[in-house]
Amino acid sequence: MKLIWLSSLLIFFSLQLSCAQDNPPFIESPTEEDYTYKTIVEGIDIPWGMAFISENDLLVTEKSGILYRVTEGVKQTVEGLPPIYIRGQGGLLDVALHPDYSNTKIIYMTLGANTEGDDLGGNTSLYCAKLEGTKLEEVKLLYKATPNTKKGQHFGSRIVFDQEGHVYFSVGDRGNREENPQDITRDGGKIYRLNLDGSIPEDNPFVGKEGAKEAVYSYGHRNPQGMVVHPKTGAVWENEHGPQGGDEINIIRKGLNFGWPKITYGINYSGTPITDKTALPNMEQPFYYWVPSIGPSGMAFSTSGIYKEWKDDLFVGSLKFEYLERLVIKNDKVVKREKVLDKIGRVRNIVEGPDGYLYLAVEGKGILKIIPN
């Protein structure tokens, strides 16, 4: 028993040493107040998703199962949501507008669901619907992950679109790391890609493979919490929660395996190792990883130039340490980290609005707009 304990301890320390050597730059904080914030929407406990219809008209999801339409700062509840399975980290999650929303009036939503009518729990699903004022019509289920489970962790989930007419969404491993993430015949721990109508693209990587979930685009993920399309390359960027240590940013590409739980820079919450491997053949390394974990959430690039020196930088919310993190990227490498609005609260999401400003969803506060001084 003593030998096993010493062996585990050695693996743990070697893993931590590897992280300390490879983990990118120390966080810097601004030396002067270059910005402030304004509360745009109040009274939302866990504001998960945000989607701007126009500068003064946006949709906000509340995880407990409410979709708000906020016009000129006034909240109205949208009616007609499908039944939502609320448990642990699951509930009403992300919301996004169809790329041609002005003509289609279609929105997309991810949420916990049980469409089977069983008593086995729920799983993450993707819906679309037509938004007419404050009412949803023509509600359609596009994808439902299976099997249902009563576990309350790792639902995901975010939604983005590429320029070729595809919708991407994420589903966490649902607390089953041993079976789901590495198995393409099972849902969970995956990024999915569908056509906008919910059909499977013919060029998805696992189309035609026996037993495969053909909607899967990449796999080996733990709990994806942020996704954004890079404004210049068009690539899908994703962040996900690691265990204790090992939160990641990944650049998603067709058919790739991102390794969870075979490789990780994190350890179990108990302090014991998950694996002694941080790399294996045919498994992708993260673009960036955090040790210690920051609990990343939504992510966005700042493209407008409204904020001095922030143009093209990546911003990621921190649930654990309650700040917004700015990451400066040069030559495909993070060269600087900075805390913005330190101790503001649990930052659940961040988006760049159509006016070029950054908007934060902060638990217990609502939606905040960052304003440069």
Catalytic machinery residues: 154
Tell me how far CA of residue 6 lies from CA of 1, 9, 263, 295, in angstroms: 9, 5, 21, 30
Distance CA 245, CA 229 (A): 25
SS3 string, the chain, reads CHHHHHHHHHHHHHHHHHHHHHCCCCEECCCCCCEEEEEEECCCCCEEEEEEEECCEEEEEECCCEEEEEECCEEEECECCCCCCCECCECEEEEEECCCHHHHCEEEEEEEECCCCCCCCEEEEEEEEEEECCEEEEEEEEEECCCCECCCCCCCCCEEECCCCEEEEEECCCCCCCCCCCCCCCCCCEEEEEECCCCCCCCCCCCCCCCCCCCEEEECCCCEEEEEECCCCCCEEEEECCCECCEEEEEECCCCECCCCCCCCCECCCCCCCCCCCCCCCCCCCCEEECCCCCEEEEEECCCCCCCCCCCCEEEEECCCCEEEEEEEECCEEEEEEEECCCCCCEEEEEECCCCCEEEEECCCEEEEEEEC
Distance CA 157, CA 169 (A): 7
Distance CA 77, CA 69 (A): 6
